[in-house]
Structure 1
């Protein structure tokens, strides 16, 4: 066997293995990229499907809301002449529906169903003059009457003519207000149905493309599949698509064939090159040496020629190293392509994950701190919308370059630190800063990064209204893993946006606990069942003779999940989330329902004080609700006092002022609560549409100090001069009681008098009050 064949048999397996490993690594990387791309594409298409569904859902809600608050509907519900109602008023409702409906909708229907379940009015956008409300739609209305939930959107897949999107609401004809769940049997049902054509078209397109049915249900049984996507259409309705196995197999088949032929061609080219190199640098020099040796043995020559190649073994080593370097370069290039963001040329999310894991392990083993900076560009979508995606891409590239410059400068000033910079997605970036344990360079770095876009981001002579919000979290102080570090930095970043953007906010345990607490309270409020979870307590206020004049109803909430939640905690959350309307309705109804017992305990002249959410004062329906409930419970309006906070009263707009004036015009009393803690001018004091001023406990505590008694008397006298009754809150000592009575205060309320009590406890307290307790004494009495 010749030396060339021996060399080929030794080197060929090595080259083949290297090529197979390179091809396998490249294939696995590209396969993962292909699956990830298909997953992202599927997620995006389901997001588009959700957007289309949300459009129909929003349209359905807005149209039903507009109709339910229209004058035509109110006239229809209150009209007793059925012929006139169905023909004339029904036509007006139909015209309202047509004017509000989108002309591109293929089907829209609206039904009004009487409390007995019989349709009072039905209209649909079809050509059939004999169309009627379907049995399935009637079943949805019947179930909605029995359900404690409100405003639930129903996707009816089995409707005649195709799936429908239904929204059912209820209205009391007498008060034109939404009924409580227990009142729905006496309310008219309103149902608006639309056919979501665009949503159905997208659904059919997805099913045709992926060869599988799109599942829509409240919940799904778990299914294991490499490619699957699920999206929430509503809180209780989800859509899932699991593509046919053939869909992914077809795409992977083409990738496998491409790598097979490519690897074969590369292998052939490498073998040919090696054969040429072996012949030229291995076998040929040896053959020449052998020929020279043969000539020398045969005495044909005297000496061997000087080697011109520098030695065969050395050259063979150099060429093997060259070949190895080429293969290594190819592998590095494949890895670089899969780990680099194509737009900004910095690390992508996958590479960031690898680097983050490595840096985290170094800190865990050798000590040090690791900080994660989660950055999000503020108003970046506005740049894309107004200036186009090319401008947005240019801005992202420029931002990445400038951040890189800041990081280089930071490392020059702090040689002991190490940084990693990556683009995670869209306009989200992340930086990992590894530093010694006692190093505190993070504030300087965040300050420099925020300064990049303070006042806007200037690029190519144009200033874009873009800034950067940064959330930071550190290991080991804030997190124990990379995943936790990323999650908590993201939480801090959203807090930075909430604080006005273009700031850096560090993570804190209080921040996470506060967000989790707010989310938990809001979730429980959305599922609130008033009769099971809410309760009222009552706090009496007495006059100078010890007689109970008013009794304030105070709300208490005992959540089955959270336990007892303070009103000071859940009321602001309910108001911000728009959930307080049903709570106010429950409080008004329950409090007025207890008036008969209060009157039995304290006499027919006792006044019931009810706190009303300030968010309700933008809607006149609160006035209608108060009138209707007072009439229902047989209470004279002057026996009810509605309490508003001073801070809100000081900001009364013309709209809310009208609502408060309407409440007073209906005969109800109005009280300004927590007086003295807001910012109130004398002019506002004179213009307050109020019957009672309730001094806040903080100002009561201060003004009852001996040196301020004259000021207390002056404030009480001024309020009384305006015809307003003065009530002092927070009376918890005999000294305070004496000072307030000496100043002429009308009513006293506080723990000295009585803490908040249930009706039963209030009855026991009333019996002891009149049997044992003497009347309060004025100062010097």
Structure 2
């Protein structure tokens, strides 16, 4: 979506919303004003109505006052009853109403009653010649006589039009307000005026406002709505409530006007903003975007320098400078992307890139290309014991040596590159004509590690294992060459390390066998395929003191597989835990039978996978087995290899201490073949060391026999007993006894045997061994 379209989508809703909210607020404000204006108009008209009422209502008071002051009543009462008297009073009343300026000829009536309620005279100024006294006027007169009310004023609003009546009750003789007891001595007179103007104006208001009229005893208070109350008498209020539709029209007109104005302003504002933003912002940005796109698509080297001094112009200048800098840094960045940051050798990406190019060229020219895959042996030992700084130092020095080795090849004919793939893995790609060239290069690398490897600051007890795969014999793609060189490298490791191995069919077969063993271990039923053998050892008096428990595997598909072959694979693939658990449980079950034959002091020595020692769960599992099979303390001895243990963390020692505290003895197997100094064994929470058979053979030789007693004594000083493994003859046995060795084990005594053969073997052994 273009910037202009986004601008429209962003601005239009905001402007419409802004003007909409503003219009709504203005409408609410003006609505109050409209209501206030209409209320003011209503109040004004109601005041006019009240004025008309007061004007018309005052007529009755004027007539009553003029009538009494003019002596018309006294003349009437003093005259004898006759038609002449009535006519004279009628003429007087006609003249009186004229004097009262009733120019609009309202209907006026006059009634005179005796104290006993007899109608004495009635006069009405109207066009009706047959008019009679109204019920309201008659009713009011009778109530005044009955209640002896001297004066009264009433508004009757239930008539049409409304009527105002003023009444007086006078003493018949004195013509003063009546205060006597006998109403027969009184006379009652009343004037009634019909409120034509008031009623007409009220009706016009009612129709104009479509209002409802209410006569109430108290005024109504109106808040935020139209309506008004006026007072017509002390006890009567007139309330006018207009219909809601009265305000609808002005409010609708107001709404339409405000909406039209808001829409006009919104459209005008939107158009103005879009024009200004497009001219001064989006157009320059669009131009800048166009140039940036051209630069990114390699259509231009850089954007044009802008002379504009605005922020966008400054941004354009910064992009111009940035691209100049990027161009200068591009080569450096590419170089860093293909170079290993630690060793400065080409990295894995560069290795793949170069190798594919070399293989494509070799395929066209029928040339030979070999891949030398290098992996350092015991590099983890360096990191763990000397630190990662020393490990980095080793890698950097090795990178320099590899570069130095290939330098003559590069000068002579090229076609060679050394690279670091990851960690302690290196690779050399070599284009060559003869196999001897690859062989010479591999020997040169091996020579770097003769007697270990040394840098300016460290001596490293490491070596290198190398695998070599060649194009096209060992693979026609880089993927195949890497896989086959890797297999050859692992074969070199198994062959003794610090050597190189060429890929071959046999190596591939070995890799396939390894894979088959891995797959078989995943699905194995331990009870069906594994079994244990027991190898005895004696003390200095030739008494059987215990047995080393060893595992054997007879696979239905693969046949007999030696532990040296499948145990490392099990440790690498994570299958060792299942195997160790089976070995422990089976051995614990067999201990009672072994002790029944060889005595209650006989113990079992069980190898524990070194990888298990980093997990505290092994301690819990062995404690549970010990409790389940009711094994006494010191009845089980756990053997672990020396070389692995020295590179472990503190968690391994926590597990070993926990095992000792739980009643297990700890022995170091294959002692004397690792890199760890002999005195380091004082750090171990162990009870026994087992001299490796290679060490046993070496130190029982006459040339080194003098080293044997100090070695054994050194162990005894640490309260560690010593077992010699791999004893082949009685000469070695005698040497070891004389040196103070504690226990003895080897083929001189017996080969490992199944549990079922132990009793028969022991009978034979006892018969040929003197007590």
Shorter-chain TM band: 0.3 to 0.5
TM-score normalized by structure 2?
0.40
TM-score normalized by structure 1?
0.39
Relative contact order higher in (CA < 8 Å, ≥ 6 apart): 1
